[in-house]
Amino acid sequence: MYLFKVEIKKSPINGKGVFALENISKGEVVWRYKPDKDRVLSVGDYEKLDSNEKSKLDRIAYLSPSTNRYVYPPENDPALFTNHSVDNNLSVVFDKLVSDEPFFVANRDIKIGEELTNNYLDFDEAIKNHRPKWL
């Protein structure tokens, strides 16, 4: 769940993206897993899905290195549109005292209107193991 006001609009990176509607200071937590909102799926349940369902999930979920389960946002959540960039402005943090799942902090000051991005290779075990051609 994004902890700042954001909007979804056309992205120069790919399709739609998430853009800041307020300034975000370096070091602030920008996105955090919310167990009462975000969805999870075990690897076993993922394997039971048909290819179309897997393909859809592969676009919106990450395989958590912390819990070995797929984590993904609910429908209509802005996080569905967070794009990948190697020049990302959100860095992943692993701290079990804060969350069982990784969370994201601003790795620099982010201005209103900037697209929020992360590097999928930093936290998605599925992508690390089977790197897609587009990455």
How would you classify residue 40: left for phi > 0, otherwise alpha for psi between -120 and 50, otherwise beta? beta
Is the CATH code 1.50.10.10 the one for domain 6-129? no
Condensed to tens digits (0 to 9), the pLDDT of residues 41-58 reads: 999 999 999 999 998 998
Domain boundaries, the chain: 6-129
Distance CA 64, CA 106 (A): 20
The pLDDT confidence band at residue 112, using thresholds 50, 70 and 90, is very high
Residue 134 has pLDDT above 80, yes or no: no
pTM score, two decimals? 0.91
